[in-house]
Structure 1
Amino acid sequence: MLIGKALSASSINLYKRAWQLFKVFTAESSLTWEFPVSEQTVLLFIAYLYHKGYAPATISSMMSALSYIHKLASVPDPTSSYIVRKSMTTAHKLKPANDSRLPITEDILEQLVKTSRQAFQNVYLSYLYPAMFLLAFHAFLRVREITESDHTLAFSDVTLTDKSITISFRSAKHSAGKHQEAVVTAVDNAFICPVQALKQYIGKRGCMTGPLFMLKGRSLLRREFVTTLKAMLNIAGIPAGRFNSHSFRIGAATSSAAKGASDAQIRKLGRWQSDAFKRYIRLP
């Protein structure tokens, strides 16, 4: 029971998919199913996935699934060997990730807020979405922290003052159970001030318990958030094709770098545990 709780629902689904795909691979390759899996079989699996067109990041996830189940069984992990790790490095070099997602800049953020205020006939929605957009940007939030997931922020996780917002994360991706906190301060531009927007939204929402961002008594779904984001961009005259929910986090990292923030500062602001944040910075 406790072991099951150690993984998020998305990780469990990913690991199940990885093992299903591994079984397909062994069947297609006429290999005998064996456990523990041999290093040679892992190398063949990497080659199989690569030639099937899977992205290196996806192959890495598949290796994580294999690794996890071996560690769980207290048997040698074949994915940790030098030759397997070198094979993964080669796959990344031969097929580097092409991340074409665009960042939400402060200018785009302002247009999003203005459009949302005018586009919704429902007054509640005209305050809900601007608050979500602004907090997602200024707090470097992941979409799973503002929509329905196992990391959804609750109303009780946020402390609001006249000048700041303090967010306490009960759980978060890569947090490993450690408490995380983010403090967002007010900004001079009223259109993109997260403190003012959250105050206005809570004035409409009320202080009842439940998810911070609530629609009809429940958390918003990710697809609802993304659909609305793209709709507001299109209404504002901004082609929405290369924007998605992660564009806020990308935009926050890019904006901070453009303002001279150090790597250590950006890593802390975004709660990154590694230098992965560097892939998010879209400076010319």
Structure 2
Amino acid sequence: MATMVVHMTLLIRSPTVVGYNGYNGCTHDTTNKISYSCGEELRARLYSSVQKYKACGWSEGIKRTYRTQLNCFQTFCELLDLALVPFSADNVCLYIAYLVDVKSFKYCTIVNYLNIIKHLHKANGVEEPISGNWQIQKVLNGVRRSIGDAQKGAELMTPRLLLIIKANLDLNSQNDICIWSACLMGFYGLLRPGNFLHSGKYVEHRDIQICDVHYHRNGYVIELQWTKTVQFRERKLNIVLPSIVGHSLCPASAIKELLHFHFKRGAKEDAPLLCNLSYQMFITRINSILISNDVKQHITGHSFRRGGATWCLRIGMSDSMIKDIGMWKSDAYLRYTEVDLSRIFDIVQSFGASLPPR
């Protein structure tokens, strides 16, 4: 069984090859050309390079996802004494039932977990059994009809919640000003949590540094080096944080105070903007504050992205502008916005009032 997954594990493991620096997989030093003494040595070195470039083919986030899916699939195959590759359509149907009845996964999760079977077969040069298979599609349709396909988005961050959070932070503390700055960056920038918070070790050139913050006469601009939709350094994206003088939710004021803390302690320009603030530390503190204030919503990193996008929609911002600010390449932004029921009533009432009385 182990030999069947070797190609896949090479692709999704954390790279240990020379040239890996954690920034989206690898870097390439064009100054160090391959040296070789014979054709066999050249072949070996080129083969090593091919493995390195394959390992860089997926982002670290995608690799983590596939590692989780692979572990689940391996466990299932061990329980039923099945080979991972090749895998029959009948066994795929059994795996789908396993994901529903044993793992209690949602429908969308089940569909995603089938991806590892496709990739395992492609990595081993074997035709994958899922695409276009009538039997598998019928089982998936049955699962969808049985358990539903409703997807509940993250709880919305709102201006009211932001004010509660601010009231419970000590903005004279560097740790708390980091948390407050992160809140406003996520809300105003419609940011994914991975864009402004690190989940593990800080990674230079990927996580936001002090030098990525630029002063503007109307506030500050934060330059993102890497996002989910910009993984090949083909362009940089700017997060605009306006100055709203005297407003409790002014993001420029928070960034100004944060920079003041950094400069006071002599921080270098390549130091992390949010110090050592991790995703887990941030979310834990935010939810702790909300719980202590009897707020029932459980906040996640995506709460800021959804909340900001929904507020943009509420104030009448155009769809195209919401997509631009949130860096959406498709209409996926629609899953992040939530139309307020009172706004729908207002629109329908306007519709009714415009009708002729008789």
TM-score (normalised: structure 1): 0.83
Please give the per-residue CA displacement for 1:198-240, whole angstroms capped at 9, x wherever unaligned.
11111112352122210xxxx32221101111123245x2415
Distance 1:127 1:280, change over 3 A: same
2:141, 2:211 → 1: CA distance? 43
CA displacement at 1:86 relative to structure 2 = 6.4
Is 1:4 aligned to 2:55, yes or no?
yes
- Number of aligned residue pairs: 275
2:6: which partner in 1?
none
Alignment identity in percent?
23
| Mapping 1:12-161, distance limit 5 Å | 12-30=63-81, 32-52=82-102, 53-81=104-132, 83=134, 84=136, 88=140, 91-92=143-144, 94-99=147-152, 101-117=154-170, 123-149=173-199, 151-161=206-216
Which structure has more RCO (C-alpha within 8 Å, separation ≥ 6)?
A: 1
| Mapping 1:229-244, distance limit 5 Å | 229-235=286-292, 237-244=293-300
1:13, 1:97 → 2: CA distance? 25
2:224, 2:144 → 1: CA distance? 32
Kept in 1: contact 2:223–2:236 (CA 8 A)? yes
Distance 1:19 1:270, change over 3 A: same
Structure with higher Rg: it is 2
CA displacement at 1:85 relative to structure 2 = 5.7
Please give the per-residue CA displacement for 1:232-282, whole angstroms capped at 9, x wherever unaligned.
3245x2415422222111101111111122333322222223333222222
Report the secondary structure of 1:104's partner residue: coil
Amino acid at match of 1:35: V
2:302: which partner in 1?
246
Amino acid at match of 1:110: L
Amino acid at match of 2:169: S
Report the secondary structure of 1:24's partner residue: helix
1:203: which partner in 2?
260
Distance 1:269 1:71, change over 3 A: farther
Please give the per-residue CA displacement for 1:120-178, whole angstroms capped at 9, x wherever unaligned.
6x622342221111111001112222222465222333323231433333222243424
Kept in 2: contact 1:229–1:244 (CA 8 A)? no
Kept in 2: contact 1:230–1:240 (CA 8 A)? no
Amino acid at match of 2:230: S
Report the secondary structure of 1:80's partner residue: coil
2:37: which partner in 1?
none
Distance 1:130 1:100, change over 3 A: same
Is 1:173 aligned to 2:234, yes or no?
no
Report the secondary structure of 1:191's partner residue: coil
- RMSD in angstroms over aligned alpha carbons? 2.8
**Unpaired stretches in structure 1, ≥5 consecutive residues:** none
Amino acid at match of 1:21: C
1:180, 1:82 → 2: CA distance? 41
2:177, 2:97 → 1: CA distance? 50
Distance 1:169 1:67, change over 3 A: farther
**Unpaired stretches in structure 2, ≥5 consecutive residues:** 1-51, 342-358
Amino acid at match of 2:92: V
TM-score (normalised: structure 2): 0.67
